[in-house]
Amino acid sequence: MSLLRQSARLLAKVPYFLHTCFLFTKSDMKTTVVPVSSLAAASAPLSDISRLVHIVFWVWLHVLQFDVSNQTMDPDEDEMNKRDRPLPAKRITLQQALFFRWLLVPICWAYSALYSIETLYASMALVALTVIYDELGAHRMHWAIRNLVNALGFCAFETGATLVAAGRDPTTLDGVALWSIAASTGIFFTTIHSQDFKDVDGDRAIGRQTIPIVFGALSRFTVIVPLLLWSVGLSVVWGLDIATCATFVVLGLFVGAQYVVGKSVHEYQVAFYWYNLWLSAAHSLPAYYRIYYA
């Protein structure tokens, strides 16, 4: 009977645990899970629709690994900016989160190895970049270093997810997949700071030197210019027709304009939502190329 009670108590904690995991990753569902999954699905391409479940779970698991690590670095910052996260909400202690952070590493590696050794390499690269960004302090360094490590991290994300998407042969990437991952890495390196505008107060409080803090009012133009260039460049690379090209370029200009005219935290939050919509659209363009040219 006591064993049954213990089992019942354990099962009762499962929903709480799963909800805690979701809260760790909640803010990155739109910024990482959706864009990376859309790129993988468009670039691989999908061997069948059921692979979407594999892609999304692989990406989410690795996002969880990164987010638990990242949120144990500066819990005081989340007390000011993001109080619904598990640590400031007191759903989990810092010691428990640190234990969970390192437990997730072998879990990610073991799960990735089920697909291929190449997928495992992508997972290992992502874990290494997480350590560089969080534990080794790249997130507090010069904005160029932060952007570079972020971009390389997304490159590892997208490589692993695209290999998972391939299904029949999760060991190699063709030219379309390689070009799409390379372009995405460049996009993240030149525009990832779009997420920093809404966090200026918290970043300034902990001494983090982000582009919006370093360049002030001029930083507003550091989003619209690269978005315009990438919109035009990707339209050419993927051979978009006139109507699709115009729609994509106008979307990029619209998103960039939100950063130029934005003034409040709320306005930059809305701008960042639009940025992620543009990013997901950019990540879906390899599918256009495969449909009409490949």
pLDDT, mean over the chain: 90
Q: Which residues contact 146 (CB under 8 A, 6 or more apart)?
A: 133, 138, 139, 192, 210
| 96-116 average pLDDT score | 95
How far is the C-alpha of 282 from the C-alpha of 34, rounded, in Å?
A: 12
Name the token pair of 272.
């960042």
- Closest-CA residue to 162 (of 6, 54, 31, 272): 54
| 1-19 average pLDDT score | 68
- Look-up of token digits 């598990």: 86
Residue 7 has pLDDT above 90, yes or no: no
Q: Which has the minimum average pLDDT: 51-55, 92-96, 165-169, 264-268? A: 165-169
- Closest-CA residue to 68 (of 132, 130, 115, 136): 130
How high is the pLDDT of residue 4? Answer: 55
Find the DSSP H helices in 114-199. 117-133, 143-166, 175-191
Give 23's pLDDT tier (boundaries 50, 70, 90): very high
How far is the C-alpha of 115 from the C-alpha of 144, rounded, in Å?
A: 34
CA max distance for the chain: 71
Q: For the chain, which domains are there?
A: 1-293 (1.10.357.140)
Top mean pLDDT of 7-16, 77-86, 89-98 is at 89-98
Q: Choose between 45 and 120: higher pLDDT.
A: 120
> How many CB atoms are located within 10 Å of the residue 84 CB?
11
How high is the pLDDT of residue 182? Answer: 96
Give 192's pLDDT tier (boundaries 50, 70, 90): very high
Helix axes 2-25, 51-71, angle to 10 degrees: 90
How high is the pLDDT of residue 3? Answer: 53
16 CB burial (10 A radius; 0-12, 13-18, 19+):
exposed
| 247-276 average pLDDT score | 95
| 243-260 average pLDDT score | 97
Q: Which has the minimum average pLDDT: 35-49, 72-86, 199-213, 244-258? A: 72-86
How high is the pLDDT of residue 74? Answer: 77
